[in-house]
Structure 1
Amino acid sequence: MTSPNDQHDPGRFDWNRAENDLNTSTPAVGPDGSTAEVVDLDAARGRRGQVWDTSYEIELDSADQTPLVGELVDAPVIAPEGTRRPIIPVSLRPENLRDTLARFLGQVAYVSGFHAIRSPWYLLQTLWFALRGLLRVVRLQLGWWWVRNHFALLQHTADANDPHEWLKIHREIKSTRLWRGIVLGTEAVTILIGGFIAWALVPRLYLGLALVGALLVLAHVGRPAGRTIIGTAIVAPRFRKLNSDVVLRAYYAAKLGDPDKAGQQIQFGSRMGREGGGSHVLVDLPYGKGLDDAVKARGAIASGMDVALSQVFISRDPSSHRRHVLWVADRDPLALPAGRTPLLRCKPTDIWQPAPFGLDERGNVVSVNLMWTSLLIGAQPRQGKTFAARTLALYAALDPYVKLAVFDGGGKPDWRRFALVADWYAFGLALTRDGDPADILLGFLRWLKAEVQDRYERLSQLPVDVCPEGKLTREIARDPKYRMPVWAVFMDEFQEYFDLGEQSKEIAGLLVYLVKVAPAAGICLVDATQRPSGIGNGQVASQFISFRDNHQVRFALRTGSWQVSDLVLGSGAYSEGFDSSTLLPTYKGVGMLRGASDATPMVRTYLAEAPDAEKILLAARKLREHTGTLSGMAAGEQVARETRDVLADVASVFTVSETGLHWTVIAARLADRIPEHYADLTADAISAQMRALKVPSKDVKRDGQNLKGARAADVRTALERREANGA
């Protein structure tokens, strides 16, 4: 409200203007006559010549930024030209709508619960801040009535020895206080009378709402700077926003260009935009530089932008070799786990559809198509290799029409529950009740090779209307009359099968044949190892390399060196900027997926711990029982070996500490472990067979008894003699 005394009069003192001048540019004069200069912060910055890093403050492509060099477009050309964006966002599609709503409602429930439990504290804070606000309003009004800074004006006239001006200012102050006092008194009387009238006439509901509104306004006025009444349930991270200055600084620091040389400037092919929790832009390098140079300088670029190496991603742009896409994550995307596998819903899957594998660095779902392909997984121990392979195996298990074969050369507990659904399985290398694991694998590979050959023959004879391209189809695979179901074969620590002596020769040859030929016949191969090189000797060693290199899709978790990374990802991966040895040890289940698509994303694999895997496998078994597809070893069928090796079988019943066994003990162990060949075996029969193989029968003292039997050293000698003779 403006008083008549506040109106401008050329003959009167302009009090409002003097008050504003005091608040802006007039030096503050203290009682002792000292003054304090009002500093212009922006001017001070300019005078001192300081460079201020505003990348935490400015918006992307704001008007304050230095204009970008080069032609600008509305959006980066990351997808191929002509690609149509989905009309309905992926998150709102029918198959994803339920999950999207569940996530949204879950977040709403969490935030509501978070604030509900703190509501009493919010009420106390509101009342306290409202009281502070009331006192602040009263103080401001009293300051307005009393005329702020009048002492400085009086002191100024006194210092100038101008009594006339001093008296004029004094009269103005008294007049202004009188008018403002009348205004404040009228305001107080109006509030008091209006309050009584409102209490008597206004309904309590409206009165309460007005009181709440007044409290909120006063609380807003009284809250301390930087404080809020309601806290934050989900803390948003503070991150560096990408802008042209930061990018140019990084690229020039990495020696990818020179701003002072003609034709050596870094240019941009797009405006900087936001995508998937990060910022991205198309970067055009100077002529003569290309993607390889940028990939090699990735560490220097990360340093120049003052972010972690794991936040910087450089990918190829198809339009030019000197152009690439730079994507910088707001925070380390690989440190965030992908979460539990979506397979915990325990719903049937379809092997003909891609299997959900994990999330990439931008939070997009990465899927792997198991059909028509073979996948190699390699990593150091305890980096998530087995969990990654098991995630895909669980997907295959939930398709009741897929036949499953699981072999783990390491014998870890991670795979043993697959006995619930697998037609063929073997764990470790030690002899078990199911037989010798190496023999079980060998028998399966022999059968599978014959099956592949027979399958190609049968597919070629099917009518064109049934098999139009001479290839397996989903209808043929699921129709029992054709007897050609999809097989998913998983081998963990497969390097162990290449180090079994003579037996490895045949195993190696079969594996090389299958990895080259079987995928096209509907046989999916997923093989994992922690030793991608240096296995076997001679022919077995070369076959190991051939088997490793013929996998079409590669997934490398953390490895020990870039050379090992190249062995897993395939030759040339390092030169393209893919080196899994740069992954931090803390990144469990994180790796580079090459060959599954045009891109090579960093994948954070979904997690399925032992209880989750068991739950999924129990559901998979029920699905197979319901559809009538449970078969093989999971259904209790015995897997009989094609041949038996008496000498090797007897050698396998000796433990490391046993130097000799009685014939009765040898016969009993063989009958118990390999009943299909030795169910009715007697001590005399095995003694005769072993003596025929030039293993002498000697006195063996065991358990206080001295009976005829075989010594372990004699059995080993006979095996070595047979191998030396090539028998």
Structure 2
Amino acid sequence: MNTPNPDTPNRDPSDDDLDHTVRPHDPADASSAPQRRFDAEVIPLRPADDDAPVHKDEDARAADIDTSFEVQLDPEPGAGPEPVDDGIGYLLDDPDGDAYPVIPENLRTLGGVGEAIARHTRRFAHRIAFHAVRTPRYGVLALLWSVVGVWRLGNRQLAWWWVSEQDYLRSLAVASGDSREWYRLHREVKETRRVRGLILAGQAFGVLAALLVMVSVAPWWAWAAVAAVGVPWLAHLGRPEDHPIIVPAMTVPRFRLLNHDVVLRAYYAAGLGHPDKPNQQVTFETTMSRTKEGQGSQVKVVLPHGKGFDAAVNAKKELASGLDVAPSQVYLTHDPSSHRRHTLTVMDRDPLAIPAGKTPLLDCKPRNIWQPAPFGLDEHSRKVTLSLLWISILIGAQPRKGKTFAARLLALYAALDARVRISVVDGKNSPDWNKFAMVAYHFIRGTVPNRAGDPVRQLIDALAEIKRHIIDTNEFLSTLSPEECPEGKLTEELCRKYPKRLFIWMLVMEEFQNYFELPDQDDNKQVAELLSFILAVGPSSGVILLSSSQKPSGVGAGDVQRLFNRYRDNHAVRFALRCGNRNVSDAILGGDAYSEGFDASALPVGKPYLGVGYLYGATDHTPTVRTHLADHGDAEKILTAARQLRERAGTLTGYAAGQDTTTPDRDVLADVLAVFGSDPGLHWNELADRLAGQIGDRWADVTADAISAQCRDLGVPSVDVKRAGVTRKGCRKQAVQAAADTAAAS
């Protein structure tokens, strides 16, 4: 604890001479234990004795206090009661988080209020339109059933007059042979019929008189008013109970009622306990309650000793069967305080079958990459956003499960920020990413050479350029003063101040595994090494790596396989849609995800569940996300607006602007001859070092394997070369010259 400053406001002057220390009370050791202290350049505190020397200079005294501290752990013998820290200044979050919000989250902004008003307005308008179309039908049915209602009303009146409810009592008297009782009941019924008959006669006379008056003097609107009141009442009286005249315009949701008995039955049916065996009963830590969003029920469950959370995860389908709901309605949340405890949440309806709707990016407004990107809705219909900076994102799934659409959502968000440079590498050469050619700095498709050139060479050059950008960014940040760059990392202010040197760069790698399985192993190694470097260093330099794959394992061999696994496993955030099996799910989400209850191979299958997946690693909570939708037409609309934003800001460069983003054209054989000098032969590693050192603008990132492959492709054999007593693979100058002459002649 820091020594208190005597100049602190509102301080009691009588405390100036107190030795402010913290002494935990330990009666057993108070008299015998030696005084224990820990200090860092300890300056003695001001003693309690008023005659003790003090600092001559108050400024120096304050400086000493600010740079030293002392904590006395044991009390002095005979000391008085110890002060107790009341905890003022320490705020702990509610670990349960059971408090309902005072104002719902969707009503805390003007936009949310407007959205709620618009939603209720749409429902009200739908009801009006629905019933307006069916008004003629309602009128005809009302007239027909009102006739039946008149008949039923007459029958009821006659039954009331005839005292039919007494028939049973008189029949009982006859059956028992009680004549006196029968005569008594008969006299009563005769008197009652006389009174009720007079009443009905008066009623009939009144109705007839009213009709005669209305026929003679009542206007048309009076008849309309009587009909408006009488016909609906008579129609309601005449219609059958199960045939309403006015049908509802919207369905009313019906939910299964859950209670503790239903939950216990489900857990016992799933084999997670037994009601009759000792110490095998399932118990509850809380009562059954509604979720905060009001869309489901939840309860904290305590499993028997010996049963853990992983057992509940494995029995999720059996639990759903016992609860009589779909597995996608059941959610298990682990309690970090105990492996036996978890929260069971059962949604009223299948939340994953409800689409999240179109992406909000369709408004085509400018976005800021420093703000979270909208991604979709979670299982509680809460909005899910993803901060793209300082992370790398891996998206994996089976084909046609929404993987490319999910990755494209995040790339579209980056495209609407005109200051973000985007490189798109599409390993499957599909039309899904074609419209990004309007804004992309690099746009590379496939693995086979085409009219646009060799995509593999283009990829290596693009990755090398991104690597140089990362190195240049870090070197530039290191030259800035601590005042300008206090944390030594990229900030939004620095990007605005130095837009030519500092900017955000998004690299999209669609089906990236295809670039680890190239025919040329040297190309595989180059791509793997460059991607591994970018993944390790890039995020801290403002490079966002967005990778997607349908084959996240079993790629390559040797160093390529090792680099592929390292590249795959080091992504900070993972999004797994439906996978073929648990091994693929673990490859995408990581090995710890399954033990936490997340298995992408168990996600539901079907068209309503496209775009549904687990977002793992973005926060402590792992939501099940239903991604927003942006189809090809939506993507084209957004990218057209993004191009206009970049043209207006003057940031449209690279492929989209018609510029050549590849490295300068290089004549491999001429450059190799230029660095050979007078040596008759060179090892491949020596040749690579000379090219990088002497012609760095074209060969900065060349490796021995890369230059060996390129030379061999041009007809230069790889032979044993002895230099300085060491024999290694290399090439001879004579062979390079012969290959160059052959190329020139052809």
TM-score bucket of the superposed structures, by smaller chain: 0.7 to 0.9
| Compared CA separation, residues 640 and 199, structure 1 to 2 (3 A) | same
Corresponding position of 1:615: 637
Instruction: Work out the CA distance in 2 between the residues paired with 1:79 and 1:642.
Output: 60
- Would the aligned equivalents of 1:443 and 1:642 in 2 still touch at CA under 8 Å? no
The DSSP-based 3-state class of the residue aligned with 2:592 is coil
Aligned runs of 1:667-706 on 2, under 5 Å?
A: 693=715
Instruction: Work out the CA distance in 1 between the residues paired with 2:493 and 2:128.
Output: 49
Aligned runs of 1:499-510 on 2, under 5 Å?
A: 499-500=517-518, 501=520, 502-510=522-530
Aligned mate of 1:579, from 599, 603, 608: 599
Corresponding position of 2:427: 409
Corresponding position of 1:281: 299
Q: State the 1:134 CA deviation.
A: 2.8
Aligned mate of 2:182, from 159, 166, 171: 166
Corresponding position of 2:367: 349
Instruction: Work out the CA distance in 1 between the residues paired with 2:274 and 2:93.
Output: 26
Aligned mate of 2:104, from 89, 92, 103: 89
| Compared CA separation, residues 223 and 526, structure 1 to 2 (3 A) | same
| Compared CA separation, residues 154 and 100, structure 1 to 2 (3 A) | closer
Corresponding position of 2:151: 135
Aligned CA-pair RMSD: 2.9
Aligned mate of 1:178, from 194, 210, 234: 194
Q: State the 1:425 CA deviation.
A: 1.1
The DSSP-based 3-state class of the residue aligned with 2:563 is helix
Matched, 1:216 2:232: yes
The DSSP-based 3-state class of the residue aligned with 1:573 is helix
Instruction: Work out the CA distance in 2 between the residues paired with 1:313 and 1:266.
Output: 18
| Compared CA separation, residues 100 and 635, structure 1 to 2 (3 A) | farther
Q: TM-score, normalised by structure 2?
A: 0.73
- Would the aligned equivalents of 1:289 and 1:322 in 2 still touch at CA under 8 Å? yes
Residue identity in the other structure for 2:627: T
Aligned mate of 2:273, from 257, 260, 268: 257
Q: State the 1:261 CA deviation.
A: 4.6
Aligned mate of 1:124, from 120, 123, 140: 140
Q: State the 1:592 CA deviation.
A: 1.2
Post-superposition CA distance 1:446-501 (Å, at most 9, x none): 11111111111211222333322111111222345452111111111000111122
Instruction: Work out the CA distance in 2 between the residues paired with 1:409 and 1:347.
Output: 30
Aligned mate of 1:484, from 502, 521, 532: 502
Instruction: Work out the CA distance in 2 between the residues paired with 1:608 and 1:691.
Output: 44
Residue identity in the other structure for 2:537: V
The DSSP-based 3-state class of the residue aligned with 1:410 is coil
Corresponding position of 1:520: 540
Q: State the 1:149 CA deviation.
A: 4.5
Q: State the 1:438 CA deviation.
A: 1.4
Matched, 1:246 2:273: no
Q: State the 1:90 CA deviation.
A: 2.2
| Compared CA separation, residues 468 and 213, structure 1 to 2 (3 A) | farther
Post-superposition CA distance 1:95-116 (Å, at most 9, x none): 3333333323222222221221
Q: State the 1:519 CA deviation.
A: 0.6
Residue identity in the other structure for 2:511: E
Corresponding position of 1:448: 466
The DSSP-based 3-state class of the residue aligned with 2:321 is helix
Corresponding position of 1:193: 209
Q: State the 1:560 CA deviation.
A: 1.4
| Compared CA separation, residues 550 and 294, structure 1 to 2 (3 A) | same
Corresponding position of 1:602: 624
Residue identity in the other structure for 2:106: S
Corresponding position of 2:417: 399
Instruction: Work out the CA distance in 1 between the residues paired with 2:444 and 2:94.
Output: 45
| Compared CA separation, residues 79 and 391, structure 1 to 2 (3 A) | farther
Matched, 1:554 2:569: no
Residue identity in the other structure for 2:601: S
The DSSP-based 3-state class of the residue aligned with 2:568 is helix
Corresponding position of 1:544: 564
- Would the aligned equivalents of 2:441 and 2:661 in 1 still touch at CA under 8 Å? no
Paired residues, number: 582
Instruction: Work out the CA distance in 1 between the residues paired with 2:94 and 2:460.
Output: 47
Post-superposition CA distance 1:244-267 (Å, at most 9, x none): 111111112223233335554323
Instruction: Work out the CA distance in 2 between the residues paired with 1:646 and 1:233.
Output: 75
Instruction: Work out the CA distance in 1 between the residues paired with 2:115 and 2:504.
Output: 30
Q: Which consecutive unaligned segments of at least 5 residues does structure 1 have?
A: 1-76, 648-675, 677-688, 696-717, 723-727
| Compared CA separation, residues 201 and 598, structure 1 to 2 (3 A) | farther
| Compared CA separation, residues 202 and 382, structure 1 to 2 (3 A) | same
Q: Which consecutive unaligned segments of at least 5 residues does structure 2 have?
A: 1-91, 670-697, 699-710, 718-734, 740-746
- Would the aligned equivalents of 1:408 and 1:415 in 2 still touch at CA under 8 Å? yes
Corresponding position of 1:660: none
Instruction: Work out the CA distance in 1 between the residues paired with 2:243 and 2:605.
Output: 39
| Compared CA separation, residues 199 and 256, structure 1 to 2 (3 A) | farther
| Compared CA separation, residues 84 and 171, structure 1 to 2 (3 A) | closer
Corresponding position of 1:667: none
Matched, 1:427 2:442: no
Q: State the 1:201 CA deviation.
A: 7.6
- Would the aligned equivalents of 1:78 and 1:317 in 2 still touch at CA under 8 Å? no
Post-superposition CA distance 1:563-620 (Å, at most 9, x none): 1110110112222221111123313211111111112222111111111111111111
Residue identity in the other structure for 1:504: N
Instruction: Work out the CA distance in 1 between the residues paired with 2:630 and 2:200.
Output: 71
Instruction: Work out the CA distance in 1 between the residues paired with 2:232 and 2:384.
Output: 48
- Would the aligned equivalents of 1:199 and 1:207 in 2 still touch at CA under 8 Å? no
Q: TM-score, normalised by structure 1?
A: 0.75
Instruction: Work out the CA distance in 1 between the residues paired with 2:261 and 2:601.
Output: 31
Q: State the 1:198 CA deviation.
A: 6.4
Aligned runs of 1:12-411 on 2, under 5 Å?
A: 80=95, 86-92=101-107, 93-197=109-213, 208-209=224-225, 211-261=227-277, 263-275=279-291, 276=293, 277-411=295-429
Instruction: Work out the CA distance in 2 between the residues paired with 1:358 and 1:692.
Output: 51
Corresponding position of 1:713: none
Instruction: Work out the CA distance in 2 between the residues paired with 1:473 and 1:566.
Output: 34
The DSSP-based 3-state class of the residue aligned with 1:356 is strand
- Would the aligned equivalents of 1:374 and 1:552 in 2 still touch at CA under 8 Å? yes
Query: Percent sequence identity over matched residues?
Result: 49
| Compared CA separation, residues 584 and 690, structure 1 to 2 (3 A) | closer
| Compared CA separation, residues 436 and 97, structure 1 to 2 (3 A) | farther
- Would the aligned equivalents of 1:339 and 1:606 in 2 still touch at CA under 8 Å? yes
Residue identity in the other structure for 2:624: M
Instruction: Work out the CA distance in 2 between the residues paired with 1:81 and 1:239.
Output: 26
The DSSP-based 3-state class of the residue aligned with 2:428 is coil
- Would the aligned equivalents of 1:78 and 1:325 in 2 still touch at CA under 8 Å? no
The DSSP-based 3-state class of the residue aligned with 1:574 is helix
